Amino acid sequence: MKSTLTVSAVQQPCDEDRQTNLDFSIAKIHEAAANNADLVVLPELHLGPYFCQSEDYNNYNLAQPIPGPTTEILSGVAKELGIVIVSTIFEKRAPGLYHNTAVVFDKDGSIAGKYRKMHIPDDPGFYEKYYFTPGDLGFKPIETSIGKLGVLVCWDQWYPEAARLMALAGAELLIYPTAIGWDPEDSPEEQQRQLDAWITIQRSHAVANGIPVISCNRIGFELAPNSTTGINFWGNSFIAGPQGDIITSANDSETKLLSCTIDKARAERVRQVWPFLRDRRIDEYGDLTRRFID
């Protein structure tokens, strides 16, 4: 496998119809491939507006099987361009059983694997528990031609346990497709605190595990159905190195293809200098499996 990787993340608006959004994503994948990228990551649920702002059974019509129509298209793009693609899809597994699922396409067009979002939020404007069953595939890296990818999805990014388990299973990159934004009614100070926390927690996963992180968010204001409110998706996608160092980033509103080179050997050196895995007290961590210690 290559010792260095060129990786990309697509920060894009997702407020149009499925075909328009997919065409936009594919155009950015072509742009990444023209820059010799080995990997490109797309935002969470990039095929359409963030439908979880409301609970509406009609939205189940947006789901599709895996394999299915979109995976067939992206498989063809991956094979044509010789690039690894990470996409997330509203998966219809069976009637009444749906997941928020990341799919990884290898350079030969095959589906290398998938990850079903494990932590499902239920907050105002983020009513995901209505739609998504928690994942049942575990925290297992997906083996590809460019290495082992620790793919997690959005709300998963707040949990150090998820990042750690991916790292312990051999993940060489942590990847977070995301759809997160501000409530426009929050004060500018509160919005800044939320954004800072979001960036900090993901950079900390890079530091604690000694591996790079790719965080890919959408942009734009999306109005909630039958409402005057909505979510202003805050962008700020970034790629960080194994010490949490920001290699490349975007602001809160720009459409941008982020690209950089990742040196795998550097991550190994960082782990040697900061041997967090060596010094873990696994004999004393049993209580982590409890909900709360009374």
Tens of pLDDT, residues 13-57: 999 999 999 999 999 999 999 999 999 999 999 999 999 999 999
Pairing of strands 173-177, 213-216: parallel
pLDDT of residue 3: 87
Active centre residues (catalytic): 44, 117, 154
pLDDT of residue 50: 97
Average pLDDT over residues 196-217: 98
> 189 pLDDT exceeds 70?
yes
Residue 1 banded pLDDT, cuts 50, 70, 90 = low
CB atoms < 10 A from the CB of 49, how many? Answer: 24
Cα gap 35→225, rounded to integer Å: 39
User: Nearest 5°: phi and psi at 210?
Assistant: 70, 35
Look up residue 13 and give its DSSP letter: B
Tens of pLDDT, residues 267-289: 999 999 999 999 999 999 999 99
> 179 pLDDT exceeds 90?
yes
What the chain holds in terms of domains, given with CATH numbers, is 4-289 (3.60.110.10)
Sheet holding 256-263, edge to edge: 111-116, 97-105, 84-94, 39-41, 4-11, 256-263
In terms of phi and psi (left: phi > 0; alpha: psi -120 to 50; beta: otherwise), the region of 113 is left
Question: What three-state secondary structure class fits 145?
Answer: coil
User: Nearest 5°: phi and psi at 203?
Assistant: -60, -35
Query: What radius of gyration do the chain's Cα atoms show?
Result: 18
Average pLDDT over residues 216-244: 95
* Alpha helix stretches (DSSP H) within the chain: 18-34, 69-81, 160-168, 188-209, 264-273
CB atoms < 10 A from the CB of 73, how many? Answer: 15
In terms of phi and psi (left: phi > 0; alpha: psi -120 to 50; beta: otherwise), the region of 96 is left
Q: Which residues pair with 147 in a beta bridge?
A: 144
Percentage of the residues of the chain whose pLDDT score is greater than 90: 97
